[in-house]
Chain A
Amino acid sequence: MHTSAHDDTPLLAVRGLHAGYGKIRILHGIDMAVRAGEIVALLGPNGAGKSTLMRALSGIIPRTGEVAFDGRLLRPGNPREAARAGLVHVIEGHRVFTQLSVLDNLMLAGYDLARAERGRRVEEALGYFPEIAEKRTDRAGALSGGQQQMLVVAQGLVKRPRLLILDEPSAGLSPVLVDRVLSVAARLREQGTAVVLVEQLVEKALALADRVYAMAQGGIVLQAPAGEPGLPQRLEAAYFGSQARAPLQS
């Protein structure tokens, strides 16, 4: 693993990102930055473009603009390259491969690795989630929604990310499981891994994150440290429209 020479240059630097689906342009000129070992929350109402932004970052959908990871520019439309560099995206919807076992699902996350290394990393990932470790031979389709969510996060961990994107990990989960998943994010932070957390649950996100970005209508409308006073009110204004254009702050 190689560490960045300067602690203040961001791990992930995004400039002028535009993306969409076919003719529908969703993102209009996004700038953002994430430092190593910080948790950044991305908030915003539905349709704002949060998931689209994540997909554009990891390369699942095409984009224009610059995405630099660890000082190197990433080629657009190439999720494999991004993952190899350490930018790992856990997509929304806990989409596991239901016909395969838990173990197989994790093995596939390590598809490109040598067999011994793959086995090691799978065990390492299961170490974060003992609940599914004991179900390793069960079919992934037999797991509950919460367990499946843990499985997809574990898949992300198999890849030993330097920056992990978690897209709506709390969707459809009970509060206990949500805390469980978010606690893993906190543990990653302690180890120096950065996390970008797309979340609907504003309070939990603010409690965990170091910094917050808020999006609306395809652009970033708010940027602030998570602990800043008055933030919830500013977010509410951002969500509900015309007062959305709050001044950006760093």
Chain B
Amino acid sequence: MPTDTLTAVPRAGAGSGAPTRGAGLPVLPYLLIFLLACALPLAGDNYWTVIATRAAIYWVLVSGLNLIVGYGGQLAIGWVALLTLGAYTASVLAGGNVLPPVPPFAALAVAGACGGLFGLVVGLPALRLRTFYFAMATLGFATIVTQIALAWQDVTGGGIGLPGPALPAPFDSEVGLYYLCLAVAAACTLLSASVAASRFGRGLIAIRDAEVAAEACGISKARLLAAVFVFSGVFAGVAGGLFASLQTYITPEAFTFELSVLFFISILIGGRGSILGPLLGTLILTALPEFAAPLAAWSNFLYAAMLLVIVLTVPGGIAALLDFRGRRARDDDRRVLPDPSRLQRLLDRGESGRGIELQDVSLHFGGVKAIDGLDLAIAPGRIHGLIGPNGSGKTTTLNVISGYVTPQQGGVRQAGAPVPMGQPLACAGRGLARTFQTPRIVGDATVLQNVMMGGHVRAAGTFVESVFRLPRHRRDERALHQDAHDALAAVGLAGLAHLRADRLQHSELRFLEIARALMLHPAYLLLDEPAAGLSADEILRLGELVREISRRGTGVLLVEHHADLIFDICDHVTVLNLGRVLASGTPQEIRQHKEVVSAYLGA
């Protein structure tokens, strides 16, 4: 993520050794824009004030939609439906044609509440539908809302429309309304930026770009999206009410598909995972028809053409162009040097006892038996190696333990108690962390942000507390920062915290995944072929790191192809072949086991 949505950097003196740079810098662009905006009406011409009011209102909506589209990756193209809803709700209530007239600000508040409710309704299909399908569903919803506005003549005035809420003085003048909208826009910017900089913002980009890994970190897509859809819906509803006041008279024709697309394109031109980018995008797109007056009729065409160009050339948008820090030149001579002393604070669970036990687990996919009657135990503080030819069921076993697949038979126990199967989200809460065969990280975010995702479930603050930056949220952020810096130092990536993750080499990504796993203060660590693609040197360091992790009480399951790593560090080895346990014992015993050798060499 570009640096303008910097994770809230803790105050200096936290003793973490973390650099407290740049706390002031990202605020500057916003301050500049705000000051210019405040000064605008003084330029004299009210024409531009009206344009600016419109831009502010659009930004109120877009700042919320940005969290859904830019951060969450859900393509809610038909979001204009909520603007329509908010506008009509506020107008109907203030106009008093159904109920007695409601004071305009109360009407605005109700519009916001309705927006929140319907935001949830529009958004929930996102949990079941693929990208394109969800986009289509939101488009359908937008059409429906417009048609209802047209048809429900008694309430909405049908095609004729109805007057928008008339705000009391001083907001009934153009300048007065402008400052009101500017204030609301500024507030919305702060609130959405707070979410973006919190663990919820990081959680959103995790489910956007690394959904499987997000599950392993315990990030619940359903709960996160629900919260964000309600939050953004409220913004959209309020924007609708303000829009109705600006227009002074609304008809269904004011809420076109083109308007919806404009919101959407602003975010994408601005860049995902950014607040400043979409803000600039909204300002540019709102102002564009005014500057390109002869081309005004072509403005929609231009928006679309801009989107196409951005997608093909700079998919990261304006934000990517402005992200200088994240794009620093790579120093290809970097070496990963773990510092196990930093593990101390992270591995403090001290779980002892029976560990994780698999009992008679069997699983088949279609006709193929992936695992057949498997018994396995991971003891705290020990390293258990799991090896076997391709297709022997190693990764499947790991997936069973981490809840991604459900066995047809058998069960898993942790500390003696049975564990529910098939729930990957629950594993994080039980202190179970894992890495993946191919590193699953968010390329667009920094290394630090990626690591902090791992600690999502360790924070206690709620979504609302993050919106308003209440004390518990700040405590959470400080703790997560501290843990993340410790984890990065422990795995040897300390100097890379602010680099974009997609600039890392493959081997560094492997260690990054381990750092992310350490954020859970895991009682158990499941490693899926962590040595693949590593040089011999790096494999040695990996081995040392894993050994140190286990020495501090964490039980480790190591699935691997690299026989030397296995024999080097494991306390116990299980060999799988065709889903069954071929042999189980100490590395020395396995190395000399005749059947193991033939299984590898082919009988």
Contacts and interface: CB of A to CB of B under 8 A. Distances in A.
Direct A–B touching, Cβ under 8 Å: yes
Interface of A: 20, 22-26, 45-47, 199-204, 217, 232, 235-236, 239-242, 244
Contacts of B564: 241-242, 244
Given A23-B506, A46-B389, A239 B601 contact: yes
A24 B561 contact: no
B352 interface: no
Interface in B575-603: 591, 597, 600-603
Given A23-B506, A236-B601, A46 B390 contact: yes
Q: Which 5 A-B pairs have the closest CB atoms?
A: A241-B564, A47-B561, A201-B602, A241-B563, A23-B506
Contacts of B603: 201
Given A23-B505, A23-B509, A45 B600 contact: yes
Contacts of A240: 563, 567, 591, 597, 600
B23 to A, nearest CB: 33
Interface in B489-527: 505-506, 509
B389 A25 contact: no
A201 B601 CA distance: 6
B116 to A, nearest CB: 41
A41 B114 CA distance: 70
B260 to A, nearest CB: 36
A106 to B, nearest CB: 27
A188 B200 CA distance: 62
Nearest to B591: A240
A236 B598 CA distance: 9
B533 A26 contact: yes
Contacts of B591: 240
Contacts of A239: 563, 600-601
A232 B601 CA distance: 9
Contact of A202 (B438, B505, B562, B602): B602
Nearest to A46: B390
18 contacts: A24-B533, A26-B533, A45-B563, A46-B389, A47-B532, A47-B562, A200-B389, A201-B602, A201-B603, A202-B601, A217-B562, A236-B597, A240-B563, A240-B591, A241-B563, A241-B564, A242-B564, A244-B564
Interface of B: 389-390, 438, 505-506, 509, 529, 532-533, 561-564, 567, 591, 597, 600-603
A232 B562 CA distance: 20
B602 A24 contact: no
Main secondary structure of the interface of A (DSSP, over half): mixed
B225 to A, nearest CB: 29
Contacts of B506: 22-25
A235 B562 CA distance: 15
Nearest to A172: B391
Contacts of B597: 236, 240
Nearest to B392: A46
Nearest to A48: B561
Nearest to A244: B564
Nearest to A242: B564
Contacts of A201: 602-603
A203 to B, nearest CB: 7
A53 B435 CA distance: 26
Contacts of B563: 45, 239-241
Nearest to B506: A23
A242 B587 CA distance: 14
Contact of B602 (A23, A25, A203, A244): A203
A199 B389 CA distance: 13
Nearest to B565: A241
A204 B602 CA distance: 9
Given A240-B563, A241-B563, A24 B601 contact: no
Contact of B562 (A20, A204, A241): A241
Given A23-B505, A200-B389, 12 more contacts: A20-B533, A22-B506, A23-B509, A24-B506, A26-B533, A46-B389, A46-B390, A46-B561, A204-B602, A232-B601, A236-B601, A240-B600
Contacts of A241: 562-564, 567
Nearest to A200: B602
